[in-house]
Structure 1
């Protein structure tokens, strides 16, 4: 535009000069000069308008490259826009170093119990062992996407980590396959796919240096479901797989349910934090060979996170029922047992809970301590080796070296006791580093 203006001005000036030299009428010369000034003024206005439009485009491009704004909110959100969809990629890189002492045995080389605390896996009746393990399998990544289609809100989430992979070993490359954690579709108030169980309030999970602590009395379950949310209410149909204790002990994973697990939950929230009350009803059915038996289970849970002071919080859970089995204590107890006399299924009652205190101090440090327990009322015909109770305590100190870079240390102690009165202990020290992105 500047070069065009310059050419026009030079041409106009040259033309005016030639014509002025040959013109004899002063009024004609003044008229031509006035026309030339009008032309220059028009060109300046056009140039200013073009510059303003170009500056506005630059501002718009810079703003869109820094953040994406959703249609329903003027606030910028994380992510990148692909067409009409906002896509976000995130996760964390995690290294855990464990020193584990077992009073009565050892874990197998590929056991997932080497990576985090599984109450029902604590060995009983062996020799004392101590082992050190380094692992990065808790490293996690996710992809999420959301968009509005008319008045409908649509979102999706896929999340994976590497824990429990059986497709790698520690001999050379430590190559482990991703495992599916969560994968769901949201459509307005519906959530369909694999997600945390509606029976569980994830805000009650204590902060820790290791992958998971206080799992004894914790509801901890991810599974396929269909969930509907209406305000504070949530209702879900979830995968109905049952675990059964056969005659002689052990575990059968029964997958013959006709009825999915039915869960209802109500959420309270306010300045005090949040509390959830959830109930579950489930069919426990075993269909194997000549056996076709079923019974029903139920449970009630109250859990949440309560603010305590300016920065502290208390996390808690209390759960009781019959036949809740795999939902609590990482399946330390089964949902039902087979009566060796009648061949019928009997739901197994249990009660469990946890409490943890999180205390931030200094600028970026915090202390976490807590207790958890699960107590199982096995039937009289149950064998002596069945788990009767598990309990654990822990303390963890974590601090952020930089934004999203966390270092932590942790000491935990757990104990498992059988129906026959035998017990085994686990003591574990953990050092961890994590970078979230």
Structure 2
């Protein structure tokens, strides 16, 4: 830097020698000083940058991406199939649903059938004893899978509860529903194959009790069947073959129930209202070896009428040989007192009705009555806990929704069972909580 100053000074003297004034020389000196100051700043900035580079960590090594081999033709096809069809959850419309329901019962009589839900009062003379029951068995779990193609649709439906055969608190799941339903939209035709609710006498009373007036006027059960339904405007017509699964290969029990039903629905009956007439025939027996078959038949009518906050429902029926396929065990065959054995099919008639009032979106109340009246002569001298000459139930209940899925209810039921001159009665008081999802 001193050499540079000397050269510059020599140049300045030389310039002065050629006649430049002192003022000119001072101006040049000032310019040179400013340039030297700026040069020092630039040199310091450059040194600082060098120091930063020397103390900085080493730069990361960039690894080249590995070469990916091309997919084979089979792999490309498999990938396309996976993309097109997806997995089982995306291929079909899936729905999981259920409910948890717990009933707390106080009974003033012995209800032999069916303990957790009511059928009729026990036959034994000391039937009057009070007891309580904490019952969670009406808890349910169901699953539906469905899909459509062209003008066709299909659905598989499975539902369980915990009313399997068992004792104590080891509650065994059982299949309530298990069927496939195939529909053709163009003609509004469907076919159901599997276990579903019976296709006639389809309405059920609005009881809190799981039994829904069992053996007290309501024909119901869930039975394996093949049922074809046809929609014709406001009408629906069905034809069905229905029969419980075989439990003993020794039974000569072959012919299923042949059933038919015609239903009319119109806005004059209110939303969801209907009137229906159904019937069925079966020539069969539950006996063993070479027991004779018997002609069994059924005629039943249904009505549901909705107006404002009121819903009126009811059924009436009559027939002969109406037994276990309609949850009327031990009531289908007449008893021959002279031969002390079962004879011809027993005739009977019955029905039920209830009225529900919705106070608002949260609170409802229902009252109802049902009766089952077998022919006294057909029942004969042989009676048991499920075999009677008349059985009646009266009920009143209410439900209150705490939220959309959660509600609590209470119910009172009076039951009176007649076996010729013997009349036994009892009461059931129930408080229930239910969560539906």
Query: Separation in 2 of the partners of 1:117 and 1:343?
Result: 28
| Bigger strand share | 1
Aligned to 2:61: none
Q: How far 1:380 sits from its partner (Å)? A: 5.5
Aligned to 2:423: 423
Alignment of 1:409 onto 2:410:
yes
Query: Separation in 2 of the partners of 1:240 and 1:176?
Result: 23
Q: How far 1:381 sits from its partner (Å)? A: 7.6
Relative to structure 1, the CA distance from residue 255 to residue 407 in structure 2 (aligned partners, 3 Å threshold; closer, same or farther) is farther
Aligned to 2:299: 300
Equivalent residues in 2 for 1:49-198, closer than 5 Å: 82-102=89-109, 106=110, 113-119=114-120, 122-166=122-166, 168-169=167-168, 174-188=169-183, 189-198=190-199
Aligned to 1:58: none
Question: Are the equivalent residues in 2 in contact too, given 1:412–1:428 (CA < 8 A)?
Answer: yes
Relative to structure 1, the CA distance from residue 344 to residue 116 in structure 2 (aligned partners, 3 Å threshold; closer, same or farther) is closer
Q: 1:233 aligns with which of 233, 237, 240?
A: 237
Question: Are the equivalent residues in 1 in contact too, given 2:346–2:378 (CA < 8 A)?
Answer: no
Aligned to 1:13: none
Query: Separation in 1 of the partners of 2:403 and 2:330?
Result: 41
Relative to structure 1, the CA distance from residue 116 to residue 187 in structure 2 (aligned partners, 3 Å threshold; closer, same or farther) is same
Aligned to 2:394: 393
Give the count of matched residue pairs: 332
Q: How far 1:267 sits from its partner (Å)? A: 1.0
Q: How far 1:356 sits from its partner (Å)? A: 0.2
Query: Is 216-225 or 332-341 further displaced after alignment?
Result: 332-341
Q: How far 1:384 sits from its partner (Å)? A: 4.9
Q: 1:310 aligns with which of 299, 302, 308?
A: 308
Q: How far 1:114 sits from its partner (Å)? A: 2.4
Q: How far 1:296 sits from its partner (Å)? A: 0.4
Question: Are the equivalent residues in 2 in contact too, given 1:85–1:147 (CA < 8 A)?
Answer: yes
Partner SS, residue 138 of structure 1 = coil
Equivalent residues in 2 for 1:363-374, closer than 5 Å: 363-374=361-372
Query: Separation in 2 of the partners of 1:331 and 1:221?
Result: 10
Relative to structure 1, the CA distance from residue 381 to residue 253 in structure 2 (aligned partners, 3 Å threshold; closer, same or farther) is farther
Relative to structure 1, the CA distance from residue 346 to residue 118 in structure 2 (aligned partners, 3 Å threshold; closer, same or farther) is same
Deviations 1:123-150 (A, max 9, x none): 3422420001111111001000100133
Structure 2: stretches of 5+ with no match in the other structure: 1-86, 184-189
Structure 1: stretches of 5+ with no match in the other structure: 1-79, 244-251
Q: How far 1:182 sits from its partner (Å)? A: 0.5
Aligned to 1:353: 351
Query: Separation in 2 of the partners of 1:253 and 1:124?
Result: 33
Q: How far 1:407 sits from its partner (Å)? A: 0.4
**Whose Rg is larger?**
2
Relative to structure 1, the CA distance from residue 209 to residue 192 in structure 2 (aligned partners, 3 Å threshold; closer, same or farther) is same
Question: Are the equivalent residues in 2 in contact too, given 1:242–1:285 (CA < 8 A)?
Answer: no
Query: Separation in 1 of the partners of 2:366 and 2:329?
Result: 24
Alignment of 1:258 onto 2:258:
no
Query: Separation in 1 of the partners of 2:407 and 2:122?
Result: 29
Query: Separation in 2 of the partners of 1:240 and 1:145?
Result: 25
Query: Separation in 1 of the partners of 2:335 and 2:389?
Result: 17
Alignment of 1:334 onto 2:341:
no
